[in-house]
């Protein structure tokens, strides 16, 4: 890639890598970073009993390993991003990968459960900081025409972490002990760090993300609409999916081996949904979100009826997997399009809202489960997802909102002009 005389030094360093291959490798390295983070975050799910028994703590206390990272990520996403706003983003990505590796090794070496919780704090900070930078980074690593596909590749790490990471980690834990599983994740994180140092170009801040900028972006109608959609659909998913295993045990009467197969099928469908959603949301953003929400509604609402049979359960899990696989990339795209002039600020708000709703959804689903039943959890989750469909249809009919999504709020910002209409 050549530069003209009018291009400033900082602009040159902010441009995509000089070769398409290096750009693709940079995208892959970011994807592997998110894969490592997602896997580390949810790895304790399969190892909870072993870890709890080793430290003589209850299952509820051991469950803090799952709730702490999400809550800390929601807090750290804006705080860490603002505090490091003037630091090269490549350096920050590498620093977060180093922090993740240290957290994995600390967990593996912990002699006291309090050290495990310290390591989970480190994981939470990593999630908030790395995601806030990486979620909107595709456009700086590859040419604009390839940004949509690159974003889908980056977000494919989420279902990949669920499909491959957790089962493999659980297998390693059963074979060689849970500490070995965390050592393996630490080694993987170090490998991703080395790859990033080799292929990710210098990424000086394109715009300093201050607290005032976050407030400005948050006040935009498009951002608030993205927050509403993300809150509803993520709340619906995690309130239900967190308890899908108890449902399969109690209602479908599936055994452990069959449940593992079902969840692998769900995860594979999620990978498909991720790329389908990434392709659709760039052209039809409202249609993509409404379709994903509608399919989640159908799958969760029908599970108490059709999920009594194994064939019905696996069919609905495939539908659910495809639908939710599209959600992260669709949600991130909505935030990015609502603030095209402040991509990192949009990523911060996306990360914070996603992680906070992740934790809230799991808590809400657990409360319903304790008071009612696992089938009630599915029905209420489906009703919540249906609200997303209602909201998007209402905005189409009333023409409310702003920007690219066809909404015309009076507070639409100039940066949103000329972006065209979709749907």
Residue 165: pLDDT band (50, 70, 90) is: low
Give mean pLDDT, residues 219-239.
81
pLDDT tens-digit profile of 24-59? 888 888 889 989 998 888 787 667 667 877 888 765
Alpha-carbon gap, residue 16 to 11, rounded angstroms: 10
pLDDT score for 318: 92
Give mean pLDDT, residues 296-324.
90
CB atoms under 10 Å from CB of 336, counted, come to 21
User: What value does the CA radius of gyration of the chain take, rounded to a whole number of Å?
Assistant: 21
pLDDT score for 140: 74
Task: Kindly report the backbone phi and psi dihedral angles of residue 86, in degrees, each rounded to the nearest multiple of 5, phi listed first.
Answer: -95, 5
Share above pLDDT 90 across residues of the chain, in percent, rounded to a whole number? 15
Alpha-carbon gap, residue 376 to 190, rounded angstroms: 43
71-80, 285-294, 329-338, 406-415 — which is least confidently predicted?
A: 406-415
DSSP 162-216: IIIIHHHHHHHHHHH-HHHHHHHHHHHHHHHHHHHHHHPPP---SS---HHHHHH
Measure the CA angle with vertex 105, ends 357 and 97; round to 5°. 55
Alpha-carbon gap, residue 422 to 284, rounded angstroms: 6
pLDDT tens-digit profile of 334-355? 777 777 767 667 777 777 777 7
pLDDT tens-digit profile of 64-89? 777 778 788 878 877 887 777 778 88
Pairwise pLDDT comparison (211 vs 291), residue with the higher score? 291
Which candidate, 345, 88, 123, places its Cα nearest to that of 222? 345
Q: Which two tokens stand for residue 411?
A: 């507070």
Q: Are 162 and 267 in contact (CB under 8 A)?
A: yes
Torsion of CA 276, 358, 293, 396, to 10 degrees: -100
pLDDT score for 119: 92
Alpha-carbon gap, residue 333 to 328, rounded angstroms: 9
Which is it for the CA torsion 52, 55, 61, 64, positive or negative? Answer: negative
Alpha-carbon gap, residue 195 to 306, rounded angstroms: 46
Residue 8: pLDDT band (50, 70, 90) is: very low
Task: Kindly report the backbone phi and psi dihedral angles of residue 264, in degrees, each rounded to the nearest multiple of 5, phi listed first.
Answer: -65, -40
Residue 207: pLDDT band (50, 70, 90) is: low
Angle between helices 374-398 and 343-371 (to 10 degrees): 140
Mean of pLDDT over the chain:
77
71-85, 140-154, 408-422 — which is least confidently predicted?
A: 408-422
Give mean pLDDT, residues 315-336.
84
Alpha-carbon gap, residue 52 to 316, rounded angstroms: 33
Alpha-carbon gap, residue 328 to 281, rounded angstroms: 11
What b/e string do you get for 175-201 counting C-beta neighbours within 10 Å, with b at 16 or more? eeebbebbbbbbebbbebbebbeebbb
pLDDT score for 399: 60
Longest dimension (CA), the chain: 69
Residue 192: pLDDT band (50, 70, 90) is: very high
Give mean pLDDT, residues 365-387.
83
């Amino acid at each position: 890639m050549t530069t003209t005389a009018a291009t400033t030094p900082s602009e040159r360093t902010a441009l995509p890598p000089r070769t398409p291959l290096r750009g693709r490798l940079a995208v892959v390295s970011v994807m592997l970073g998110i894969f490592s983070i997602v896997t580390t975050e949810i790895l304790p799910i399969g190892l909870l009993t072993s870890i709890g028994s080793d430290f003589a703590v209850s299952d509820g206390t051991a469950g803090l390993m799952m709730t702490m990272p999400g809550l800390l990520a929601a807090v750290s996403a804006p705080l860490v991003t603002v505090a490091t706003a003037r630091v090269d983003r490549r350096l920050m990505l590498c620093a977060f990968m180093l922090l993740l590796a240290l957290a994995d090794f600390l967990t593996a070496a912990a002699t006291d459960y309090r050290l495990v919780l310290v390591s989970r704090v480190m994981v939470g900070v990593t999630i908030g900081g790395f995601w806030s930078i990486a979620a909107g980074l595709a456009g700086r690593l590859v040419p604009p025409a390839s940004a949509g596909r690159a974003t889908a590749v980056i977000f494919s790490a989420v279902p990949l972490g669920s499909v491959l990471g957790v089962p493999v980690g659980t297998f390693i834990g059963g074979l060689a002990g849970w500490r070995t599983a965390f050592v393996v994740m630490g080694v993987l994180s170090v490998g991703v760090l080395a790859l990033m140092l080799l292929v990710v170009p210098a990424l000086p801040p394109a715009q300093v993300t201050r607290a005032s900028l976050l407030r400005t972006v948050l006040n935009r109608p498009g951002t608030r609409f993205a927050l509403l959609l993300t809150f509803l659909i993520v709340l619906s998913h995690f309130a239900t999916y967190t308890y899908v295993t108890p449902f399969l045990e109690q209602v479908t009467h599936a055994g452990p081996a069959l449940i593992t197969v079902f969840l692998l099928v769900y995860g594979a469908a999620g990978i498909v949904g991720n790329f389908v959603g990434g392709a659709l949301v760039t052209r039809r953003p409202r249609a993509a979100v409404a379709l994903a929400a509608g399919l989640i509604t159908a799958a969760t609402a029908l599970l108490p009826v059709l999920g009594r049979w194994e064939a019905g359960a696996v069919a609905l899990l495939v539908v659910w997997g495809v639908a939710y696989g599209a959600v992260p990339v669709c949600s991130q795209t909505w935030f990015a399009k609502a603030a095209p002039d402040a991509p990192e600020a949009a990523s911060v708000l996306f990360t914070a809202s996603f992680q906070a709703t992740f934790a809230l959804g799991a808590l809400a689903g657990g409360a319903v489960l304790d008071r009612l039943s696992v089938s009630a959890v599915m029905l209420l989750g489906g009703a919540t997802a249906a609200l997303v469909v209602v909201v998007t249809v209402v905005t189409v009919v009333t023409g409310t909102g702003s920007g690219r999504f066809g909404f015309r709020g009076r507070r639409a910002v100039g940066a949103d002009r000329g972006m065209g209409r979709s749907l």
